[in-house]
Amino acid sequence: MIVPVFEYVPVVTMQLTLKEEVHITTHTLEKEELHHVPVKVERLVVERREGVDGAWVEDDSPNI
């Protein structure tokens, strides 16, 4: 990025002249970091009914 710097110079008539240019460069730094963050834990229980009038039984089969 180039940012022009101006100054007013008194002459017979006032005019704006370019005094200097400032050249700006940017650099990007990428860094990997490991952070331990506490999280909330939830448990989901799936229950299946045995027959129409049967009891509810917890389903332990993995759903992958």
Residue 9 lies in a domain: yes
Q: Global pTM? A: 0.27
What is the pLDDT confidence band of residue 64, given thresholds at 50, 70 and 90? low
Q: Is residue 62 part of a domain?
A: no
Is 58 within a domain? no
Tens-place pLDDT, residues 39-57: 898 888 888 888 888 888 8
The pLDDT > 90 percentage for the chain reads 23
Report yes or no on 17 lying in a domain: yes
Q: Domain for residue 50, yes or no?
A: no
Domain count, the chain: 1
Q: Is residue 48 part of a domain?
A: no
List the Cα angle 53/56/50 in 5-degree steps.
50
Beta strands in 1-64 (DSSP E): 2-9, 15-23, 47-49, 56-58
Measured between alpha carbons, how far is 17 from 10 in angstroms, rounded to an integer? 10
Closest CA to 59 of 41, 42, 44, 47: 47
Which residue range(s) make up the domain with 17? 1-25
